[in-house]
Structure 1
């Protein structure tokens, strides 16, 4: 497994995981704090997204394209 991105919270990490899975890429969310080991929901806790090394490049491209859409929203 290869770390491809870090989300600022579990909600966004879950969203990214779902998008990757829609594209056929299996992923794993790893919370990066002690609260994860204690089964406590701490609020804004960074989460790492991991995928198979063979799918890492494609997964990064997918997540990068999300950032481009967010930075350039369509004007109505």
Structure 2
């Protein structure tokens, strides 16, 4: 192990974790869009409806909530 690794180990781990999480959040919007299409097409038989939220408006509220969370987390990780 080099002296560089020892002095910056914590920052290296933080950067690696932020990079992986940022990529996960980059891939989340297409999944959310696909889920929204699923709600429109299948309505009460969608993936979210199987979790117990059968109201279409409620399903879209859940999707909107997760979309905002993903964008906020992606933006926060971009700062690091």
TM-score (norm 2): 0.32
Kindly indicate which of the two structures has a greater share of residues assigned to strand. 1
RCO comparison, higher one (Cα < 8 Å, 6+): 1
Kindly indicate which of the two structures has a greater share of residues assigned to helix. 2
